[in-house]
Amino acid sequence: MADGITKKEGFAMYEHLILLHSDYSEGKRIAFHQVHKSVLGLKDFKELTDKLKAFYPELSFGFHHVKTDAKTWESVVEYDKFFQEVFPVNKFETFTRFLADEDEITSFDIANLITSKLECTHLKLQKLLYFFYVSYVKKYAEAPFKEKLVAWQHGPVVEEVYDMYKKYGRSSINEPAEDNDVLIYKDDEFKLSVYSRFLQTSSCGKYLDVLDETLDKYESYNAWSLVNLTHQPGTPWDIVTEGGRRLNKIIDEDLIKEFTMKH
């Protein structure tokens, strides 16, 4: 805890109450910052921070109390350079929005987690991402991330993830006659950062469990075997594309829910 008093005399002193959180997804630190003329504001501030900690038990927070002779955040930074690269917000609602974004898992996070566990081509990655999505919906009756699945020629694809990983392949997912793409390899430092990302979310256990189940079931399949599974009659891909005749259609969550209830 940073706790200090400036040495200037004859100036009004201000109590800076700071709740600091490291925002992993953006690579920066965020602070909920309030300024009071006395420590009487500490009680209300503590009540707010206790609510946050209870709502986000997986996120880490640090409380800091600093006294300076000015109301500004700059005076806090001047007092202690520890706060130099911290992004301050003085509205509780704004701070909670940042936390909600931090707690939300995206398709990129899942793709990163998959590639931290095994080497695969981006075609196989897309199929594993789809089967993870289906398994998660079946188990929890909700989508694991907001990005949409789209029915491409060779099965469901999350286009945002495709754009990120297509550099590993010599051909588009829509084109190759064989799975001749480059294997996606991630080093130990990347793997550690991926797990750290999930450990900071309130749904960590749910995501990790479903992914382990998905990989146990499908990891041994090659990419084209997985493609064939997505093309089976009655699958969401088959229904949306009308047997492959109408491509590039969104496979919505409700259709996948309906499918999981039957399988």
Q: Does the predicted model carry a pTM greater than 0.75?
A: no
Helical segments of the chain, H only: 42-55, 73-79, 92-103, 107-117, 122-140, 159-165, 188-199, 204-218, 223-230, 236-241, 253-262
Q: 236: closest CA among 218, 224, 254?
A: 254
Percent of the chain with pLDDT over 90: 48
Range with the largest mean pLDDT of 30-39, 163-172, 232-241: 232-241
Average pLDDT over residues 21-45: 83
Q: What is the pLDDT of residues 59-105, one digit of tens each?
A: 888 999 999 999 999 999 999 999 988 889 888 867 876 776 667 88
Phi-psi region of 62 (alpha: psi -120 to 50; beta: other; left: phi over 0): beta
pLDDT (0 to 100) of residue 172 = 34
Q: Which of 89 and 195 is assigned the larger pLDDT?
A: 89
Beta bridge partners of 62: 20
Q: Which token pair is 189?
A: 């430092």
Distance CA 79, CA 258 (A): 59
User: Residue 150 pairs with which residues in a beta bridge?
Assistant: 157, 250
